[in-house]
Structure 1
Amino acid sequence: MISLHLRHGPHFLLCLPSLLPSLQQPELNTSYSSRRPLLLVSTAVSSLHLAAMATREPAPSSSEHGTPDAAQPRRPRVLLAASGSVAAIKFEVLCHVFAEWADVRAVATASSLHFIDRASLPSGVALYTDDDEWSRWRKVGDEVLHIELRKWADAMVIAPLSANTLAKVAGGLCDNLLTCVVRAWDYSKPVYVAPAMNTFMWNNPFTARHLDVVRELGMSLIPPVTKRLACGDYGNGAMAEPSEMCRIVGLFFGPQHI
């Protein structure tokens, strides 16, 4: 490497090979970082210092150390939450489709565990329950699970959202892990809710009021669909398909995720 110490004045093009014959036919490193523009310098040069510095091996890239490239973007982080609707039987499917392009953590209420097959969840997807909220805390200064999940996630999806949990969220209650996460949520990050309930419950006036509240909070509704329900009735109230929810949430993170 050569350093030049020059004074100001009119400019001309300095031809370094004429000054240093030994550099007339160098072996050039054509990498992007080694290319340099032509140098314009002053004609009123009172002093010119050319110092050859010992060449050094380039610093190894982070990939050579087994660490990820700083330019490589991380995967989106999605917190999936299930409440106590029979539609929670599809929760493991929901986890699988999201895990294809996102880092997933899951939260389940006590009643939703009646319908979730924990053994069928994708490997690497941690499922947290109310028991974890209490068992992980021992003393002042320990992490609080619902706060840590809120900090970790880029987005939250509550699917299924039962009539009971909808009423809790609309009323600001926080009596389990799921509702505590919602109560602590940063609404600069999206929350999607996918209700699932019987048609009579869906058509109840309280449901309309509660949906108005969650919309005012900034949550996005993924509406239910009309089909044959688990109870045998035909009507609106069935949870949207996991693939459709994945598509809708993926739009927030970019078209490469849909």
Structure 2
Amino acid sequence: MPERQAHKDERKAEEKRHVEAEAETEKASHVGAKTTTLTLAEEARRREQDSDSVMASSYIVRGKTYADAVLLPPVAPPKKKQILLAFCGCESAANFRQLIQAFLRWAEVKVIVTKSAKKFVKPPFPDEVPVYMDNDQWILWEKKVAVCLHAELYMWADAMVIAPLSVHALAKIAGGFCDTLLTSVVRAWNCVRKPLFVVPSMDPLWKENYTTLRNYISLHELGILIITLLIQKKDGKLPEPDEISKFVRDNIWCI
């Protein structure tokens, strides 16, 4: 019996040594793989550093540094919006200078002055603001210049603002007339692609007339935005130039 017990103990000890040996072998293989992985990573990092140094030296030879190659080009400042302003013959057109200055703070401006607006809108205009009148369209036509002024103004502008819009011009636009430079531009305007804002100004009796309401509906169907209906003034007065400019700036969309 003692011999049999000793034999069993010897077998257990041998099995234990065998298991420990296998464990040591497996551990050594993991360490070797890890070492190989680290070695490969270090080699890749070393190659990248070498290539950077070569690239840097090549740019230095050309009078540049490697930093010059990886820096992004400077971002251009945002382009100013291009606003086409139009004035009709109303007393509120006397504020045209304040309105122009309000828009010039954030946009480039071109101006259309109707024939009746000349009684209220008078020079001088800011030097950087081109001014167009009905005669300009016919002068180009008489000179046989291959330029369609109302189309050129439409293509240039990101948005159009008619402030003030007289009851007479309102009726013309609603009826589809294009017998002036202003109405020609409006007739060519695509309100789906570019916004068109108007600020109607008229006698209170005209404002309450059913014909005016019908014309408002026509403008709405054309996609024209009526600022006086969107900015509710408690005293019933027209929006101030700064309010008009801010409303257009906040609600403009451009192609």
TM over 0.5: yes
Name the SS of the counterpart of 1:148 in structure 2.
Answer: helix
When residues 17 and 240 of structure 1 are mapped into structure 2, their CA distance, relative to the original with a 3 A threshold, is closer
Structure 1 counterpart of 2:95, one-letter code: K
Residue 188 of structure 2 is matched in structure 1 by 184
Is the deviation greater in 127-136 or in 157-166? Answer: 127-136
Instruction: Return closer, same or farther for 1:28/1:112 CA change in 2, 3 Å cut-off.
Output: same
Corresponding position of 1:85? 90
Q: Which amino acid aligns with 1:132?
A: D
- Quote the Cα distance in structure 2 between the aligned partners of 1:25 and 1:162: 69
Deviation of the 1:130 alpha carbon: 0.5
Match of 1:73 among 56, 70, 78: 78
The answer (yes or no) to whether the contact 2:83–2:110 under 8 Å persists in 1 is: yes
Which residue pairs with 1:148 in the alignment?
A: 152
2:216 matched residue in structure 1: 211
- Counterpart residue type for residue 100 of structure 1: R
Using the TM superposition, give the Cα deviation of residue 250 of structure 1 relative to its aligned residue in structure 2, in angstroms: 1.1
Shift of 1:99: 0.5
Q: Secondary structure of the residue that 2:246 maps to in structure 1?
A: helix
Structure 1 runs, 4 residues or longer, greater than 3 Å off: 12-21, 23-29, 52-59, 224-227
| Deviation (angstroms), 1:245 | 0.6
- Taking the aligned partners of 1:199 and 1:191, their CA distance within structure 2 comes to 24
**TM-score w.r.t. structure 2 length?**
0.69
CA distance in 1, matches of 2:87, 2:97: 10
Structure 1 SS opposite 2:147: coil
**How is 1:51-66 mapped onto 2 (pairs within 5 angstroms)?**
56=62, 57=64
Distance 1:217 1:15 in 2: 69
Please identify which structure carries the higher helix content: 2
Map 1:1-258 onto structure 2 (within 5 A).
Answer: 12-13=40-41, 15=43, 23=50, 26=53, 56=62, 57=64, 71-119=76-124, 121-137=125-141, 138-139=143-144, 142-187=146-191, 188-223=193-228, 236=236, 238-253=237-252
Q: Percent identity?
A: 37
Which amino acid in structure 2 is aligned with residue 209 of structure 1? R
TM, length-normalised to structure 1: 0.69
Note the C-alpha offset of 1:122.
2.3
The structure with the largest strand share of the pair is: 1
* 8 A Cα contact 1:79 1:107, kept in partner: yes
- Do the aligned partners of 2:195 and 2:252 also contact (CA within 8 Å) in 1? no
Distance in 2 separating the partners of 1:20 and 1:205: 79
Partner amino acid for 1:163?
A: V
Structure 1 regions of 5+ residues with no counterpart?
Answer: 1-11, 30-51, 64-68, 228-235
CA distance in 1, matches of 2:52, 2:112: 66
Query: Using a 3 Å threshold, how does the CA distance of structure 1 residues 19 and 139 change in structure 2: closer, same or farther?
Result: same
> Per-residue deviation at 1:16?
7.1
Amino acid at match of 1:155: A
Gap runs ≥5 in structure 2: 1-39
- How big is the alpha-carbon RMSD for the aligned residues of Structure 1 and Structure 2? 3.4
- Report the Cα offset of residue 139 of structure 1: 2.5
